[in-house]
Structures are given as structure tokens and as C-alpha cells.
Amino acid sequence: MNIGFYPGCSMQGSSPEYNESVQAICSALGISLIEVSDWNCCGATAAHNLNRELSLALPARILAHAAADGLEEVLVPCAACYNRLKMVQHEIGADRKLQDSISEILDEPYQGNARILSILDFLERDVEPLLAEKIMKPLKQKIACYYGCLLVRPQNILDAKRHEDPQSMDHIMQLLGAEAIDWAFKTECCGAGLSVSKTGVVAELSGRILDDAAHRGAKAIIVACPMCHSNLDMRRKAIEQHRNKDFDLPVMYITQAIGLALGIDPVKLGLKRHFVPVNLEL
């Protein structure tokens, strides 16, 4: 099976372990990822606050290159990148004048018809059906599946299923043998891109998430977003100082959890890169 792949900046910069785990499980399951040629930053959380044309042109160029590569579908694991590409595809697709303007800025025709897949779309459709016969080390602990904001909102554009109570990660973790808890914060904001500029806000919002997960007995938090992982893992000291409370909950990408259940070497999954150590007996 071949599928287009847009890694984005975070998977080659701040979150290489996410990329490593995506590549590892795809290799184990016989799925080939074809990287979009000459890709660029999508603009993430900054561009649309500074320059509207830039915020549209950056994701549009990625989609144009995917089309030029003949890719009908593109997997976008980063939740922020996925959100930006989906939003821009929707906005440009509904406005022919804007489409012509963006094509002029890019100095190449905009063709944004590729289907954009989130990591959850991809796992649910292409990975989950292959797992039953591949699980070597079932995961047996209680876990909290944390979806965050960017995979489910705005619901009318992302077509998120049960956007207030999504279930796709829960189903996969249950298939892997874990118990996915029912909890109140699975789509609450962690503070997202405010991690540097307003760390106190991140400490408050992410602290609430950790507190509720711990209160309900979770032994780990499962995520599918580099920013969520960064805020819950890297900012742990700030969170603990803010709440005057210690949390020993590790934070793992859903792809790392799948990799553990498949028996993949934890080093190949990037599990040694986290600030909060991951209990490999999860």
C-alpha cells in the first residue's frame, strides 16, 4: 500500500519521535509513505495571525506539489498541519478568485484536490484492520486518550466524528489491550502554541488535563499532536509548579503505543526522547 506523506516541520524538528514511530509502524505493516516533494512549512499557528496571503499560500503550495506528484491522498500526522491544510483547502476551494490569486503568488497552478488524511483517519482506515493478527505485547493499563482541539474543530470542515467525544484512539487502544478511560478533558485545549509566549496559560490548561486523567486512574496519556505532546511532556515542571502537585503520567503518541504492542524496539519508536520517562511495561 502506497500513500502520500507530509511530515511538516515538527516531525523533523521538535518531535522526531513522532516521525520515527509513524515510519516504524508503517514499515512493520507493509505501508509505504511517499513524501511530498520539496515541501515547506504550512505556517502552523503563526502565519494566519500575521499575513492572510502567506497563511493561504504556504499550505496551498504543499497541496499543489502533492498534485504534481500524482498523490491522491496525503497523510498529515501533525494535527496543526492537518488543520491548516484542511482549512485552506476549504477556503480556496470555495472561492475561484482567491484560487487564481494564490496561483499567481505561487507562480504555479493550484490544484488542491488531494484527500488530506489525519493520523486518526489513517489509523482507523488502514492500520486498525491489520492489528488483530500483529499484536505481540498487549498493553494492559488504564490510559487517557487526549485528542485536543485541532483534530476535531471546526467540526463542519474537518468532518470530525463525535467532535465532543471522539472514539477512534479509544477503539485502537482497546484493541491493543488497554483500558481507555471515560474522562472530561479529551478535547479541551492544552494551550497549543502559547507554550513559549504564555507558559503560565499552558501550565494552567495542561494542568487541568493531567489532573483529570490522574484522578480517573490513567497510567498514561495518549496523544496525536506534537503541540499537545510538547505541552504535556516538556512543560511538566511548569505544570507541577503551577498546581503544586507532582504528576508521573507519561505522554505517548498513539503511534508509539501501537509500536509497543507490535513488539517494535522502543528506541526505534523514539520512546527514549521524552522528558517524562515512559513505563515500557504499559
Q: What is the pLDDT of residue 28?
A: 96
Q: What is the pLDDT of residue 192?
A: 82
Q: Which of 27-36, 184-193, 218-227 has the lowest mean pLDDT?
A: 184-193
pLDDT at 221 over 90: yes
* Reported confidence tier of residue 195, pLDDT bands at 50, 70, 90: low
Q: Could you count the other beta carbons within 10 Å of the beta carbon of residue 26?
A: 20
CA distance to 12, 56, 253, 259, per residue, from 18 (Å): 9, 26, 7, 11
The per-residue pLDDT of the chain, averaged, comes to 93
Q: What is the pLDDT of residue 163?
A: 84
Q: What is the share, in percent, of the chain residues with pLDDT greater than 90? A: 82
* Reported confidence tier of residue 282, pLDDT bands at 50, 70, 90: low
Q: What is the pLDDT of residue 161?
A: 80
Q: What is the pLDDT of residue 51?
A: 84
Q: Which of 35-49, 64-78, 115-129, 252-266 has the lowest mean pLDDT?
A: 35-49
Whole-number Å distance between alpha carbons of 243 and 200 = 11
- Closest to 228 (Cα-Cα) out of 171, 146, 169: 146
* Reported confidence tier of residue 280, pLDDT bands at 50, 70, 90: low
Cβ-contact 257, 137 below 8 angstroms: no
Per-residue cell: 269: 519508536
Reported as a single tens digit per residue, the pLDDT across 57-69 is 999 999 999 999 9
Cβ-contact 239, 207 below 8 angstroms: yes
Domains of the chain with CATH codes = 2-118 (1.20.1050.140), 137-261 (3.40.50.11810)
Whole-number Å distance between alpha carbons of 58 and 78 = 16
Entry pTM: 0.95
